[in-house]
Amino acid sequence: MPITVVGKIGERWHKWGAAEGAFGPPLGPEEEVPGHNGRRQRFKRGEIAWTPTGDFTVSVYRLRNLACFEWFTSKLEFGYDILYNGVGQGVRDATIKSEDASPHFWTRLQGFGEYTFIL
């Protein structure tokens, strides 16, 4: 039985080319984000998450040793951090200064391990 990708997560996944795109096919069904008001779905090369709080959609996908971190929100200022093996790299403040509805940045991965991107 095929795994479905729907809602806000499905919109982002389809925007990026669905199973043939940057994220690849889904690895499992959409699930709750533990300890947060949100949903996430994991894919072969990344993850997409959505929260109704602030109507954030966040996605990260890997390309070799780089990760593209992209988000969509109506907020203009917010903070973010990247955790590598559970250790924060320092909260950074971001301000959306353009009309780009999906700001993003590329970051070099530090090596093998687990990464967490937090808005």
Asked if the structure places residue 56 within a domain, the reply is yes
Q: In this predicted model, what pLDDT tens digit does every residue of 62-112 receive, in sequence order?
A: 777 777 777 766 555 556 667 777 776 665 655 554 455 566 666 776 766
pTM of the model: 0.73
pLDDT at 14 over 90: yes
How far is 87 from 79, CA to CA, in rounded Å?
A: 16
The tally of domains found in the chain comes to 1
Domain assignment of residue 88, yes or no = no
Instruction: Give, in order, the Cα–Cα distances in Å from 79 to each of 14, 29, 76, 91, 118.
Output: 27, 28, 10, 6, 8
Query: Which range marks the domain in which residue 45 is found?
Result: 7-76+99-113
Structural domain includes residue 92: no
Let me know if residue 13 belongs to a domain.
yes
| Domain presence at residue 49 | yes
In degrees, rounded to 5, the angle at the alpha carbon of residue 12 between the alpha carbons of residues 72 and 100 is 35
Tell whether 90 is covered by a domain: no
70 within domain boundaries: yes
For residue 61, give the H/E element and its range.
strand 56-63
**Residue 82 maps to a domain:** no
